[in-house]
Amino acid sequence: MKIILGEQFRVRDEVEHGTPEQNQDVQEILAAVKRDQDAALMHYTEKHDQVRLQKIKVEQTEIQAAYADVSESFLTAFQLAAENIRAFHEKQKRTSTIEFQENGTILGQIIRPLNRVGLYVPGGTASYPSSLMMNVIPAQVAGVREIAVVTPPATGGKAGIDPYILVAAAELGVTEVYQVGGAQAIAALAYGTESIPSVDKICGPGNAYVALAKRSVYGIVDIDSIAGPTDIAILADETANPAFVAADLLSQAEHDELAAAILVTTSRQLAEAVAKEVNIQLDTLPRRKIAAKSLEDNGAIVLVHSLDEAVQMINNIAPEHLELITDEGFELVGRIENAGAIFVGPYSTEPVGDYFAGPNHILPTYGTARFSSPLNVDDFIKKSSLISYSQAALQKHGKHIVEIAKQEQLEGHARAVQIRLDEQRGK
């Protein structure tokens, strides 16, 4: 990894949301699924995943049969992780509120879960049961009644979903699973097909085609976010273990050639040690080709003069994942304004949050932590305002409402209030 001085570092540009060719492909897929429904899903699954589907929905017998192909050790780990994630998200639950005022007015907010959501779980060449957990559990905690999971079939020309995904769904009580991915899956969730009823909201990360499709169907349905490439920033001082830091940088770099892994440090000694350690560990990493390209294009070790400069840089980066490995980690937390998830201390490695600790790992990427939050229970609820105005309250404040309405030249608004004021005065 290259070591650069703080004043030479530049935050990478905004992610490009697809090439013109990708955008055109996505629009064609969306139109085809809207028009041809299941037939289009099968066509594009064969075209892009090299899998010829006979059916789209996964049968319950297939889900239960998947247990035979999953290790007991994974099942135990999954169950413990799910308990932690559920316990964390239970604390995010909201309740409806109502306020009774002395003049008889009643004001409130009604909290309701969304009725039906579609959750996208990446798949195909890899399996991500952790992403299924992070999507499903907050939706269940919110009280969503219908949860549909879409995920690409495993590659290799044979229909079917990775057994670890199916077992994860079964463990969480999800019964509606479809073996379709990509932009066509997003289209199915938004428009509905013969096999897949439409949903109210789509959540979950995916590739560029998934992101483009989600952006296109927003407004027909709600979406959680448009995910870009993953990233990590580590703020560390001379007390950090260079082997730990190097391992954590590689843990994100192995995701994607577009992933970003950045160390910001006040210690030249640590910077040089981490650069050396990255090369050592990279040599034996199974996904070393991907990680090496990521580090070459988007990785950096940034040397700064002070922790103040480091904090300012982190806030400018607005990382998806931020690790604080310094002598005063918790003292710095209050100064961090922009980060999706903050990991404090040498043993709070990013994978702890990815899989087990409890907070959600679906996080704002590519600098969007400036204005976005991790996926949470609030993403699966809707709110209605409740207003019951009393006669006394309208008598007291009606003239002010009329004044504002007239200023906006909305005479009908003003008259709707005035007719009630006149009635109260006996006119």
Q: How many residues does the chain have?
A: 427
Q: Is 148 helix (H, G, I), strand (E, B) or coil?
A: strand
C-alpha dihedral sign at 308, 310, 316, 319: negative
Q: Let me know if 320 is a catalytic residue.
A: yes
DSSP assignment string, 301-316: EEE-S-HHHHHHHHHH
**Nearest residue to 229 via CA among 249, 250, 252, 202:** 252
- β pairing state of 381-388 and 106-113: antiparallel
The runs of H, that is alpha helices, within 160-267 are 163-171, 182-191, 208-217, 242-253
Tokens 């002070």 correspond to 306
Which member of 89, 171, 254, 321 is catalytic? 321
For residue 424, the number of C-alpha atoms closer than 13 Å in the C-beta half-sphere is 14
Cβ atoms of residues 57 and 166 within 8 Å: no
Which member of 320, 323, 350, 361 is catalytic? 320
Q: Dihedral through CA 114, CA 118, CA 119, CA 122, nearest 10?
A: -160
Q: Let me know if 321 is a catalytic residue.
A: yes
Active site residues: 320-321
